[in-house]
Structure 1
């Protein structure tokens, strides 16, 4: 019979065999699972999910795989290391972004407008954003030019 445990950091369910004992680290986020930091929940696996939930999850994972297959860049989730789906871009305009200028001698690191690519983990639903490729190149060029002027 297997036992189940929930990781307190990534909230993923961990199933382990009684003969082998509990996992020392979460296999999803790699955080330590020892002593006071771990909550162990014993429950009957048959009661955990009904067939409708299990069937919906299976259909969802098949659909998510189609989105992942259509992507060129498939980053890993920083929480659980599963793959993330590119959900879309967020345009950040000047009205929604106040650039920080650390000193009068330095220009702002980032200026609006720019785009953030938004990714969502298909497994734990963590959202992650990064600067769009075009805006990364513009940032590098602008700061390299500012440094050359000094």
Structure 2
């Protein structure tokens, strides 16, 4: 059996002799053939000389796309997190302590939704009650009654990475909604 080390995730890959090596890593799904390095000129080195970019085995169209759009790919949704948290780290915040605190709180939550923007986990920060005077219910003709009647409670979640806020119905009101929609069945 042939062994290969993935240059991306550094995982040892053992291939079946009959099938032979694959073109992509089964763990990280990056391509294994044509592994290339891209170094971008960021400024000057410590000795004052300018650094040049280095490109290995890559055609011009791929180089141009990576130079123009370096954020493209599967990690597109991760960019806001990186920049948001980096800003606070540069401001002197202890991100390790922050992450440890986040983990403790997440471990105690019954429900841990993912942020729709960056896919980090969200913290339950509180609840909010929606009252009759702030809510106009929808009354579908097929039901003949409101889908959800006030008052009801919303759980408020904050993303630990990009700090987006999301709301969802509290457990009791979810059951009430399901009962309302289920009672219209004949």
| Same fold? TM cut 0.5 | yes
TM-superposed deviation, 1:2? 6.6
Match of 2:160 in 1: 122
Mapping of 1:1-150 within 5 angstroms?
Answer: 21=66, 22-25=70-73, 27=75, 29=77, 53-103=91-141, 106-148=144-186
- From the CA coordinates, give the structure whose radius of gyration is larger: 2
Change beyond 3 A, Cα 1:104–1:73: closer
Q: Which has the higher strand share?
A: 1
Render the CA deviation track for 1:79-132: whole Å, top value 9, x for unaligned: 000000011111111111111224386311111011111111011001111111
Shift of 1:63: 1.9
Runs of 5+ consecutive residues of structure 1 not aligned to the other structure? 5-17, 32-47
Distance in 2 (CA, whole Å) between partners of 1:99 and 1:130 is: 16
Query: Where do 5+ consecutive residues of structure 2 fail to align?
Result: 1-38, 43-53, 56-62, 80-85
Residues 124 and 24 (structure 1), Cα distance of their counterparts in 2 relative to 1, 3 Å cut? same
Distance 2:133 2:172 in 1: 21
Gap change, CA 1:3 and 1:87, over 3 Å in 2: farther
Give the stretch that moved more between structures: 48-57 or 83-92.
48-57
Query: What CA deviation, in whole Å up to 9, does each residue of 1:6-52 have, x standing for no partner?
Result: xxxxxxxxxxxx76953432515289xxxxxxxxxxxxxxxx76976
Aligned-partner SS, 2:184:
helix
| Aligned mates of 1:50, 1:95 — CA distance in 2 | 40
Q: Which is further off, 99-108 or 76-85?
A: 99-108
Query: Which stretch shows the higher mean deviation, 130-139 or 53-62?
Result: 53-62
Alignment RMSD, CA only? 3.4
Contact 1:116 1:130 (C-alpha < 8 Å) held by counterparts = yes
Highest RCO, 1 vs 2 (Cα 8 Å, sep ≥ 6): 1
Q: CA deviation at 1:136?
A: 0.8
TM-score, normalization by structure 1: 0.64
Confirm or deny: 8 A CA contact 1:28 1:79 kept in the other structure.
no
